[in-house]
Structure 1
Amino acid sequence: MTPLRSELPRTGSADVAALRAQISTSHLARGPALSFGLSELDSRLDGGGLDGAALHEVAAATATLTDDAAATLFIAGIAARFAGKHHLTVLWALTKFDLYAPALEQVGLGPGKLLYAQARKDSEVLAVAEDALRDGSLACVVAEVKGADRTATRRLQLAASDSGTPILLYRRHRSKEKCPLGQPSAAMTRWRIGCLPSARLTLPGVGRGHWSVELVRQRNGNPFSLELEACDDTGRLALPAATGHRAPVQAGTASFAA
């Protein structure tokens, strides 16, 4: 009896090879760094921006509500720019839904770009985030947790690298005394964001917010700290301008970092 043999036809093998090449090209196209559009910031980052296929961590400078809001909007601005770059949706996973949608929209992350996933505990948030990364169809993933050990962050880093999708992990303050970034992590970059006094305007009104943006750690680079103006309606940061040199502009124009 002639033994049965199972083999792919040549056309099938060629199709599989073409599909693999297409997936690989897609990941490479999404992987390059997302620049902030500020030379003072990008020039200090390895690769000239945020790696588009990696884990990046953010924490508030203190446990205050103002610093928590600044860190959240810093993340939202980055997510909005990833969404605009790839014309895809952002997934935001968390255990407690305390986001203020109008504030997210003011930095460019409107409801049309955003999906929410609410879980019961941090381990479920991390699982949802990893699954979302491996799906590969999102602009980026945002996950809010109070704790994530080295194993969890390594899994997220590997998933981001494999799928070509970035993840922004927001480490919420566990206590007022301890910074969450004191925990070890496999993240590519680690940021600490805090509020600073706004610059005084020549006319009555509220000025654009100022943030302390500190890169606590990055692979293949040095830490640094800058004072920057908060995100505009396209999610972009700017260098503080002297009051006397401010010109009346519309939010989101070229007067801010492009």
Structure 2
Amino acid sequence: MPILSSSRAERLAALRAEVRAIESATVKGKECLPFGVAALDRRLEGGGLATAALHEMVGTRPGLSDDAAATLFVAGIAARLPGAVLWTLARRDLFAPGLMHAGLPPDRVLYAEARSDEEVLAVMEEGLRHGGLAAVVGEIGRAAMASTRRLQLAAEEGGTTALMLRRWRKAGEDPFAPPSAAVTRWRIACAPSGDLPVEGIGRPRWKIELARQRGGAPFTWIMEGNDAEGRLALPAEPPHRQAAPDRGDEGRRAAA
């Protein structure tokens, strides 16, 4: 492996710093959708999710519970964007009525069933370039870097939010292992609900990990799941403090 001279190494380091600065400025200059939770929004570049951009979400572990949490996390973001939402998928395992619990009623959603990941990507790109939708959601098992670049460019061109819900296809293959052009990448896992003064189940809690954000640092947070308007909240007790990352091996479908 060739050894770089000190001057060449310095130029390379300066170029990388310039690229990082450009990425950060690009994110800060875009219109953003805040979560409405100050402690969370402060950690996001620009104070929220860039609306004309690609964002990726995945359940932390393969299985129904984390997959459902990630699905509802996506639905809650889409619900807070005004207008129609295009949701495209290649598997018939989405419990559509469950999206209402995240603030996304049936009259706002257009469903497109595809035969493969490639068709899902093509439908997403068309929807993003149309420019008349609030958001485009696509459920994907695998997507190459070139495909995510195309979606990012289409989102910028159409001024539309792209939400890619990564699906576990094999337990041993992390959907986030391949690189991506997404502005943010999120891992969502179920967490224990808080105790209630009476018998019953409390509001769902999720462990939300921002695994990557362009121009900013990753972080992990415990949050209460979406309410009927798609909004997250901090738990009333101390567990909202920052938690250590955890990537286990197990965990979807849109919760009933």
Q: In 2, distance between residues paired with 1:217 and 1:201?
A: 34
Q: Quote how far apart the aligned CAs of 1:174 are.
A: 2.1
Q: Which 4+ runs in 1 deviate beyond 3 A?
A: none
- Residue aligning to 1:206: 201
Map Cα deviations across residues 96-140 of structure 1 (whole Å, 9 max, x no partner).
121112210111101111000001000000000000100000000
Indicate the residue corresponding to 1:115 in structure 2.
110
Pairwise CA distance, 1:182: 1.2
Structure with bigger gyration radius: 1
Alpha-carbon distance, 1:242 to partner: 3.0
Per-residue Cα deviation, 1:167-194 (whole angstroms, up to 9, x for no partner): 0001101221232111100000000000
The whole-number CA distance in structure 2 between the counterparts of 1:197 and 1:40 is 21
State the match for 1:45 in structure 2.
44
Q: Which residue of 1 aligns with 2:129?
A: 134
Q: Deviations 1:1-60 (Å, cap 9, x if unpaired)? A: xxxxxxxxxxxxxxxxxxxxxxxxxxxxxx610000011110010100000000000011
Instruction: Report which structure shows greater RCO (CA 8 Å, sep ≥6).
Output: 2
Show the counterpart of 2:181: 186
**Residue of structure 2 equivalent to 1:54:** 53
The question of whether the paired residues in 2 share the 8 Å contact of 1:76 and 1:109 is answered with yes
Deviations 1:160-219 (A, max 9, x none): 011110100011012212321111000000000000111111111110011000000000
Work out whether residues 55 and 168 of structure 1, in 8 Å CA contact, stay in contact via their aligned partners in 2: yes
Scaled by the length of structure 1, the TM-score of the pair is 0.79
Structure 1 CA distance, aligned partners of 2:191 and 2:110?
30
Amino acid at match of 1:136: G
Partner secondary structure for residue 91 of structure 1: strand
Cα shift readout 1:59-112 (whole Å, capped 9, x = no counterpart)? 110001000000000000001011xxx3x1000000012111221011110111
Gaps of 5+ in 2: 1-29, 239-256
Q: What amino acid is the match of 2:110?
A: L
How many angstroms apart in 1 are the aligned matches of 2:68 and 2:223?
A: 15
Matches within 5 A, 1:141-180: 141-180=136-175
The code of the aligned residue for 1:194 comes to A
Q: How does 1:37-116 map to 2 (within 5 A)?
A: 37-82=36-81, 86=82, 88-116=83-111
1:41 counterpart SS class:
helix
8 A contact 1:93–1:118 mirrored in 2: yes
- 1:188 partner amino acid: V
Unaligned runs of 5+ in 1: 1-30, 244-258
- Is 1:225 paired with 2:225? no
Give the counterpart letter for 1:111 in structure 2: P
Question: What CA RMSD, in Å, does the superposition of the two structures yield over aligned residues?
Answer: 1.1
Percent sequence identity is 54
**Distance in 1, Cα, partners of 2:94 & 2:53:** 24
2:229 to 234, 237, 245: 234
SS of 2:165's equivalent in the other structure is: strand
In structure 2, give the amino acid aligned to 1:33: C
